[in-house]
Amino acid sequence: MNRRVYLDHNATAPLLDAARDAMQAALSRPAGNPSSPHAFGHQSRMELERSRRDVAALFAAPSHEVVFTSGGTEADNLAIQGSARAWTAAGRPPGHIVASAVEHPAVMESCHYLETVGWRFTLLPVDGAGRVDPAELARALSADTALVSIMAANNETGVLQPLAQIAALTRAAGVPLHVDAVQAAGRGVIEAGALGADLISISSHKIGGPTGIGALWVRETTPLAPVLRGGGQERRRRAGTEPVLLAAGFAAAARSVFVSAGRVAGRVAALRDRMEQELLLRLPGLIVQGAGAARLGNTSSLTVPGVGNETLVIRMDLAGFAISTGSACSTGATRPSHVLAAMGVRRAEAASTIRISLGPSNTDEEIDALVETLPAIAADLSRGAILSRSSRPALPSLPQGLRPSRRPRLVP
Ligand code: PLP
């Protein structure tokens, strides 16, 4: 097989034709600032609000509850810091915030930031499959809890959280619930009422729209103060001239996944399941992380014992397959991803964990090729490890510029 195979959809999804066409059409129209009072501005405002309606349909929510942001990271920051600011703006001292131990850094770092300005932060543990125990959440809630933030689906393992039970608890306690649905959106409809959440983050580039735009759905009654201050755009919730062009692409992607998500998710899940089954047969000792839990149908977090994940990812890339590691490293030393560490995965196993994330364009032929190639490369690498342990010559070294990185890196 000569072409390259893209299996890193959780990092970013390829731009959909519908999104490209929508942006090209928007580019060919005269553009005004949506806040301008003239006809150009009016035209842009109409386009922006049309896009907002299409994105809101993903949440089955009224469009005025959707705030456009620059992406999932900003949506998470706005949800957490905006909720905290609304809390203190009501004359209360800094309160308490709760998040799970497997959240994306966009959530985690926002919570740690709040700690530096006087907030209390409870990090909820997860079980071996990466799930929060709702009973732990019930114990963590207190009279000054201002927000609970739990993701819908994990970016590294695809594991889904028990959101219905979590939402029942937060509703009963009168505490707003933020759900980072960046990975779940477009892989089954995110319906605001069904999730029972009060704030939901999504990101355009994870559903086949352009990068640089995302959205936060905010229930009308949920208190939120702006983080970005300036003009009064987005109903005073996020200042800055709105990106009409990107919104057109985001909306087109949202329309596509809204129509096809269920059907596509079923086909992708069947491919993923077959891939895992065949790899389990061919790779002795292979571990599928989170296998015991409900998971996104497109994601596989695979531990190949005894094989370094960074080298494996590079060798797979050289063989034409784009996959990713399941661990982040910091200067000087590889450390396990915080997600796998929270699940109790041992350091050595985490350093042997890769992530394969499929998308709608992947084919049976591509998966056939992957299940041939991955075990062959893994066997080659473990032979190399045994040889170098017995101080024999190592396998041919990697080409210059393709050595494992030692820079800090996150798993997107
Ligand atoms: N939340 C999750 C679960 C993610 O996987 C990501 C990106 O990988 C983000 C938030 C951040 O989204 P963005 O890349 O749009 O800033």
Indicate which residue's Cα is closest to atom 7 of ligand 1: 412
Q: Which residue's CA lies nearest to atom 9 of ligand 1? A: 72
| Ligand 1 atom nearest to CA at 106 | 10
Q: d(Cα 103, Cα 152) in Å, to the nearest integer? A: 10
Least confident of 146-160, 180-194, 209-223: 180-194
Q: What does the pLDDT read at residue 229?
A: 94
Strands 145-149 and 177-180 come out as parallel
Between residues 157 and 195, the one the model is more confident about: 157
Lowest mean pLDDT among 199-213, 233-247, 273-287, 373-387: 373-387
Extended strands (E) in 175-213: 177-180, 199-203
**Which domains can be identified in the chain, with CATH numbers?**
5-9+262-386 (3.90.1150.10), 17-257 (3.40.640.10)
Among 322-326, 340-344, 381-385, the least confident range: 381-385
Report, as an integer, the average pLDDT of 388-408. 41
User: Is the C-beta atom of 153 inside 6 A of ligand 1?
Assistant: no
Asked whether 210 lines ligand 1 (CB < 6 A), one says no
Reduce the DSSP state of residue 111 to 3 states and report it: helix
For a substitution probing ligand 1, which of 150, 160, 183 has the most ligand atoms within 8 Å of its CB?
A: 183
Tell me the catalytic residues: 329
pLDDT at 406: 33
CA of 106 to the centre of ligand 1 (A): 7
| 261 pLDDT tier (thresholds 50, 70, 90) | confident
State the pLDDT at residue 194: 66
**Cβ count within 10 A of residue 162:** 16
Which ligand 1 atom is at minimum distance from the Cα of 154?
A: 3
Confidence of residue 262 (pLDDT cuts 50, 70, 90): confident
**What is the Cα–Cα distance from 344 to 354, expressed in whole angstroms?**
16
188 lines ligand 1 (CB under 6 A): no
Q: How far is the CA of 182 from the centre of ligand 1 (A)?
A: 6
* Arithmetic mean of pLDDT over the chain: 91
Q: Which atom of ligand 1 is nearest to the CA of 74?
A: 16
| Any atom of ligand 1 within 6 Å of the Cβ of 324 | no
Q: How confident is the model over 160-193, as pLDDT tens digits?
A: 999 999 999 999 999 999 999 999 998 875 666 6
Over residues 337-349, the mean pLDDT reads 95
The CB of 104 under 6 Å from ligand 1? The reply is yes
DSSP letters of 283-342? STT-EETTTTS-B-TTEEEEE-TTS-HHHHHHHHHHTTEE-EES--EETTEE---HHHHH
Q: Which is more confidently placed, 181 or 403?
A: 181
| Residue 117: CB atoms within 10 Å | 10
DSSP 6-60: E-BTTT-PPPPHHHHHHHHHHHTS----TT-SSHHHHHHHHHHHHHHHHHHHHHT
Q: At what angle do helices 105-116 and 72-89 cross, to 10 degrees?
A: 30
Q: Mutate which of 155, 246, 250, 409 to test ligand 1's pocket (most atoms within 8 Å of Cβ)? A: 155
- Ligand 1 site, residue 182, Cβ cutoff 6 A: yes
Provide CB contacts within 8 A for 330, sequence distance 6+.
408
The verdict on the CB of residue 76 being under 6 Å from ligand 1 is yes
Mean pLDDT of 251-271: 90
Q: Averaged over 93-117, what is the pLDDT?
A: 98
Mean pLDDT of 90-115: 98
With the most atoms of ligand 1 within 8 angstroms of its CB, the residue from 55, 73, 250 to mutate is 73
C-alpha distances (whole Å) from 179 to each of 204, 231, 379 are: 16, 27, 40
The answer, yes or no, to whether residue 400 has pLDDT greater than 60, is no
8 lines ligand 1 (CB under 6 A): no
Say if residue 332's pLDDT is above 60. no
- Residue of 206, 298, 409 to test ligand 1 pocket, by largest number of atoms within 8 Å of CB: 206
The atom number, within ligand 1, closest to the CA of 411 reads 8
Cα–ligand 1 centroid distance for 65 (angstroms) = 21
Report whether residue 214 contacts ligand 1, using a CB cutoff of 6 Å: yes
Q: Does the structure show a pLDDT above 90 at 303?
A: yes
Per-residue pLDDT of 32-87, as tens digits, reads: 999 999 999 999 999 999 999 999 998 889 999 999 999 999 999 999 999 999 99
Radius of gyration in angstroms for the set of CA atoms belonging to the chain, rounded to a whole number:
22
Distance CA 398, CA 318 (A): 10
Q: What is the pLDDT of residue 213?
A: 98
Does the C-beta of 183 come closer than 6 Å to ligand 1?
Answer: yes
pLDDT value of position 186:
87
pLDDT at 401 over 60: no
pLDDT at res. 331: 42
The mean per-residue pLDDT over the stretch 309-322 comes to: 97
Q: Is the CB of 96 under 6 A from ligand 1?
A: no
Q: Is 101 helix (H, G, I), strand (E, B) or coil?
A: coil
